[in-house]
Structure 1
Amino acid sequence: MKHNYQLDAMRAIAALAIIAYHYTLFPCGWIGVQFFFVLSGFLISGIIIKNKKALPSKQTGAFFKDFYKRRVLRLFPLYFGYIGILALFNFFAGKPEAFDKEWPWLVTYSLNFRWLYQDYSFHMVYGHLWSLALEWQFYLIWPFFLWFVPQKRITPILLCLLPLSMLIRVLGYSVNEHLPYLVGYNGGATAKALAAYVLPFSHIDAFVFGALLCKVKVRRFLSRPQVIYSSMAMVVVTGLLLVALIPTYNLGAIGWPSNLPKAYQWIWGYSLLNFISAAIIAGIIEKGRARVLALSRSSLLQYLGKISYGIYVYHPIVIFGMLNVRNKVPQFTGKVIVELIIVISITIVIAHLSYEYFEKRFLTKRKPQPATNEFKPQVNKVPAERLTLELQEANN
């Protein structure tokens, strides 16, 4: 089985939706982050589960050493390189203003926790890195969880984690609401619901749905067009009902605003969005007949998905630059749309150059090394599906 380029296209769509959201033109575009969480859960879980079956227990240490080496080489160079760029801007231009205060949270992959503090100094050029911090926190725990849970109990435990994740969101909400130094204390509904959005424990169900996709029966069920369309319809109908019932909900977000602050949406809403993301991924893998997936065949989107990590990391600094020059251009019809197109175009160019001339230098070091006495993968015994998961993980 070869690399699934259609999943790359879905990465691109998610990344572009996030850019439009940050440019305030697509209020529900933040949902793209949920798709990334579920996709990461699928790719990482698949690698762990397949290697767990294929490798003898005595190779566990060597496997995890190689696994984290590959993760570090994929994630760290761009992440810390971007932080280095921000540090240079701060040193020479004094912007972003609060970088000298917030950098310890950035370099320790803990910005998502920092978001909850009342004295957090948000800036758009680094605020988006919370999601990368959350994913890394999962990478430190999730692989070991899957590896050491008995094979026969994985599915029942995963299913139990789905309702548990909702209970954890309730707990996080309660803590955020009652601790004086957190934003939820005497805060509004959006501030109180922030913990359910940024804490890693709150998104267990995203990684659970991803792990469940490793089971063929689950994928085949979720890939059915009726499942994909009915789940999408449920999201739209539910959102429209919330818009009709809640005055502060606007139609632009289709009833799915960031943080999901009202109607206890922060409890059940993420699970529904994760379910849809899983269904879309299943439909692509199983070559489902749902026509809504046809866009994923675009070669342009597939390439943009390949560099989507860079698109996500770099886009806020491009938006920040645009916001600082937009007022110098006279108003005209469709100006905001033109600005967004320019932002996307510049971001793509930067991400392309970053991928070709910076990130690739580290990706080439991830190629499989010749077998040694310490770690000898049993290639002949590994199912072909493992190769697909490893190739997808390379661009995750």
Structure 2
Amino acid sequence: MLRQGWDVTWTVLRHGGGKVGSMTQVQPIKTGVTTRGGAHLPALDGLRGISILGVLLFHTGHLSGGFLGVDLFFALSGYLITDLLLREIEVTGAVSLIAFWGRRIRRLLPALVVVLTVVTVLVWAVGSPDVVRTTLSDGPWVQLNLLNWHLLAESAGYWDRFGTDRVFEHLWSIAVEEQFYLVWPVLVLVIARFGRVGRRVAVAAAAVSAVSLVLMVVLADAADPTRVYTGTDTRAFSLLLGALVATPPVQAVLARAVGRSAGVVLALLLTGIGAMWFLVDGVDSWWLFTGGLFAHSLAAALLIRLCAQAPHALVARVLAWRPLRWLGLISYSLYLWHWPVIVLLGPQLAGLGEWARTVLVCAVSIGLAALSKYLVEDPVRFRARWAAGRSGSLAFAAVMIGLAVLWSALPAPAPATIDIAKLG
């Protein structure tokens, strides 16, 4: 669900003669969100805070449509990544794929590795046999960024699946984003070779979004829409509509269409999105899978762009509220940690009231997310020189090998057996 709405905050710097040194010289700027021109956009941090809050409330049983926070994350990811790529093309005339993927790895992998390792060892030590088996089965697919397809292959229904037997199931959305990060920059790089980059990227994003919508409508199953909800092909529009509004031609059209009414339009968009979050009910809201999710993603993309276009509007200023922004800054780690906390603490919290359980889950999850951000994410991302270049590649290889060893070294409990002779 989710980044990325998650902290894509890099700018490409000229390094001698207008070229990027070794095609890998990038400089982190601030820990908040920036966009074209390098302007800091606190409101987008706030949107990430709202997104993760919706997901938390959904998973703790308080907001039936809170899962739509993932769509807002997707739209933010598409917008910010595309803005980053277009800025790099503007400066260098191309996209360094190795540098881009290196930045994504340094941004996303450290916190994920910590969660995978800690949760797996903890589950193996104290979890039930069923949870241990699913954890060791799902882990390699998380590592390969293919968990969404693994879960679909197991025919696990999305809304029925969120029980107590899987601690990594929420990472399906991380897999979708990682697949996007792998493919979209390559397509943008190819487009950049033909000129008129902004216009061609806009056309590509709109065309693929339309195809993705058609696939969702055609493949949707009224009995269980899991396939279209978690499939990369049928969810691509959520990311690409964000990418669409990051292109200069679309931004120019929006600026002319909205004019001085940006504040009013922002309020209407936020109200509409909020109403959907309160009214939809997952699998029972069939209209979501015949165009509703597309409409929500489009509204989210427009909300994101207008927050950037009109940062002084009332809605943008409300979204820039400091506590909400801080929640957005830790949203990636908070998303990683919250579901394992819910699963592992569930039996111990059975005697508490519903809201007391929610408060405790949120407090533990936020605490772990803050530790992750300040002790793992930021140090590796901003201060660890070994995390870049050849040493970074070696570290990445070592981590991948270490995770593979983890999945294979821990013995899984034998499946429960049934003595047929004793039946009847």
| Change in 2 beyond 3 A, CA 1:81/1:259 | farther
- Residue 169 (structure 1) aligned with residue 216 (structure 2): yes
| Offset of residue 320 of structure 1 | 2.3
* Identity, % of aligned positions: 23
In 2, the alpha carbon distance for the partners of 1:354 and 1:190 equals: 39
Q: 1:148 aligns with which of 190, 213, 223?
A: 190
In 1, the alpha carbon distance for the partners of 2:73 and 2:202 equals: 22
Q: Helix, strand or coil: the match of 1:318?
A: helix
Judge conservation of contact 1:15–1:32 (CA < 8 Å) in 2.
yes
| Change in 2 beyond 3 A, CA 1:190/1:360 | farther
| Change in 2 beyond 3 A, CA 1:285/1:19 | same
| Offset of residue 11 of structure 1 | 0.7
Q: 1:390 maps to which residue?
A: none
Q: 2:124 maps to which residue?
A: 91
- Residue 37 (structure 1) aligned with residue 52 (structure 2): no
Judge conservation of contact 1:259–1:266 (CA < 8 Å) in 2.
no
| Change in 2 beyond 3 A, CA 1:32/1:124 | farther
| Change in 2 beyond 3 A, CA 1:233/1:9 | closer
Question: Could you report, residue by residue, the CA deviation over 1:156-208 in whole angstroms, capped at 9, with x for unpaired residues?
Answer: 333323322211213443xxx6xxxxxxxxxxx352x1111101111222222
AA of the residue aligned to 2:229 = Y
| Change in 2 beyond 3 A, CA 1:166/1:11 | same
AA of the residue aligned to 1:142 = W
Question: Could you report, residue by residue, the CA deviation over 1:342-364 in whole angstroms, capped at 9, with x for unpaired residues?
Answer: 22122111111111111222112
- Residue 135 (structure 1) aligned with residue 171 (structure 2): no
Judge conservation of contact 1:112–1:130 (CA < 8 Å) in 2.
yes
Q: Helix, strand or coil: the match of 2:61?
A: coil
| Offset of residue 219 of structure 1 | 4.9
Q: 2:363 aligns with which of 345, 352, 362?
A: 345
| Change in 2 beyond 3 A, CA 1:271/1:308 | same
- Residue 212 (structure 1) aligned with residue 244 (structure 2): yes
AA of the residue aligned to 1:342 = L
| Offset of residue 311 of structure 1 | 0.7
Judge conservation of contact 1:224–1:289 (CA < 8 Å) in 2.
no
| Change in 2 beyond 3 A, CA 1:64/1:259 | farther
Judge conservation of contact 1:124–1:316 (CA < 8 Å) in 2.
no
Q: Superposition RMSD on alpha carbons, in Å?
A: 2.9
Question: Could you report, residue by residue, the CA deviation over 1:103-136 in whole angstroms, capped at 9, with x for unpaired residues?
Answer: 2222211111122234658635211000001100
In 2, the alpha carbon distance for the partners of 1:56 and 1:286 equals: 25
AA of the residue aligned to 1:85 = V
Judge conservation of contact 1:8–1:305 (CA < 8 Å) in 2.
yes
Q: TM-score, length-normalised on structure 2?
A: 0.71
In 1, the alpha carbon distance for the partners of 2:315 and 2:284 equals: 25
Judge conservation of contact 2:217–2:291 (CA < 8 Å) in 1.
no
AA of the residue aligned to 1:256 = V
Judge conservation of contact 2:310–2:316 (CA < 8 Å) in 1.
no
Q: Which runs of 5+ in 1 are unaligned?
A: 178-188, 240-252, 330-334, 371-396
Q: Helix, strand or coil: the match of 2:62?
A: coil
| Offset of residue 226 of structure 1 | 4.2
Judge conservation of contact 2:45–2:328 (CA < 8 Å) in 1.
yes
Judge conservation of contact 1:307–1:351 (CA < 8 Å) in 2.
yes
AA of the residue aligned to 1:22 = H
In 2, the alpha carbon distance for the partners of 1:352 and 1:190 equals: 39
Q: 1:102 aligns with which of 135, 138, 141?
A: 138
Judge conservation of contact 1:260–1:269 (CA < 8 Å) in 2.
no
- Residue 364 (structure 1) aligned with residue 401 (structure 2): no
Higher mean alpha-carbon deviation, 33-42 vs 110-119, is at 110-119
Q: 2:324 aligns with which of 276, 298, 301?
A: 301
How many positions carry a matched residue from both structures? 332
AA of the residue aligned to 2:136 = D
Q: Helix, strand or coil: the match of 1:24?
A: coil
- Residue 13 (structure 1) aligned with residue 50 (structure 2): yes
Judge conservation of contact 2:44–2:304 (CA < 8 Å) in 1.
yes
- Residue 274 (structure 1) aligned with residue 274 (structure 2): no
| Offset of residue 10 of structure 1 | 1.3
In 2, the alpha carbon distance for the partners of 1:90 and 1:288 equals: 45
Higher mean alpha-carbon deviation, 314-323 vs 72-81, is at 314-323
In 2, the alpha carbon distance for the partners of 1:72 and 1:363 equals: 9
| Change in 2 beyond 3 A, CA 1:27/1:40 | same
Q: Helix, strand or coil: the match of 1:279?
A: helix
Q: 2:265 maps to which residue?
A: 227
In 1, the alpha carbon distance for the partners of 2:309 and 2:384 equals: 28
**Which of the pair has the greater relative contact order for Cα pairs under 8 Å at 6+ separation?**
1
In 1, the alpha carbon distance for the partners of 2:91 and 2:334 equals: 35
Q: 1:262 maps to which residue?
A: 286
| Offset of residue 283 of structure 1 | 2.6
In 2, the alpha carbon distance for the partners of 1:366 and 1:131 equals: 28
Higher mean alpha-carbon deviation, 32-41 vs 345-354, is at 345-354
Q: Helix, strand or coil: the match of 2:372?
A: helix
